[in-house]
Amino acid sequence: MNARQVSNAVAHTLLRQSVRPGEVSVLLTTDEAMHELNLNYRQVDATTDVLTFVGPDLPMAPIGDIVISLDTAQRQAESHGHLLQHETEILAIHGALHLAGWDDQTEEEYRKMMVEMGAIAAELNLPWDGRWSTHEVTPS
């Protein structure tokens, strides 16, 4: 995993969105750890691919945190026919857009976010077919 490319995807996204300079932490983790975070912070008893925690809106505060499950990212990469590296960068873009204030709770918000993600993916030469979606997986 090339952490620099993941970091570049976050930085590029935040610059494109004119987000103030600041610190962003990116944690690459497992489905098990992601499930625990999702349960503790969102009360969702499932793992997911990416979680975003927005920092306080203060001038010197961190922008926030992005957490990505590499287990889920690997499954999604295989289903989309591309590399784990590329899927992880796409998830980082998704998380960074949430840090920039984007939401995807309604169909309209989701469509707009997918268009923006596609534009950023193209700028970073990442594979994008417009069929990407974020996933939550209930444990068996």
Q: What is the domain partition of the chain in residue ranges?
A: 3-122
The 10s digit of each residue's pLDDT in 35-70 is 999 999 999 999 999 999 999 988 889 999 999 999
Which amino acid, 118? G
The 10s digit of each residue's pLDDT in 85-123 is 999 999 999 999 999 999 998 999 999 999 999 999 999
| Residue 136 pLDDT grade (very low, low, confident, very high; cuts 50, 70, 90) | low
Q: How far is CA 65 from CA 12, 59, 76, 128, in A?
A: 16, 16, 21, 24
Q: Which residues pair with 24 in a beta bridge?
A: 64
Q: Which residues pair with 48 in a beta bridge?
A: 136
**The predicted structure's pLDDT at residue 108:** 95
A 10 A CB-CB count for 91 gives 27
Question: Token pair for residue 78?
Answer: 């295989």
Does the pLDDT at position 138 exceed 70?
Answer: no
Third-level CATH fold of 3-122: Collagenase (Catalytic Domain) (3.40.390)
pTM over 0.75: yes
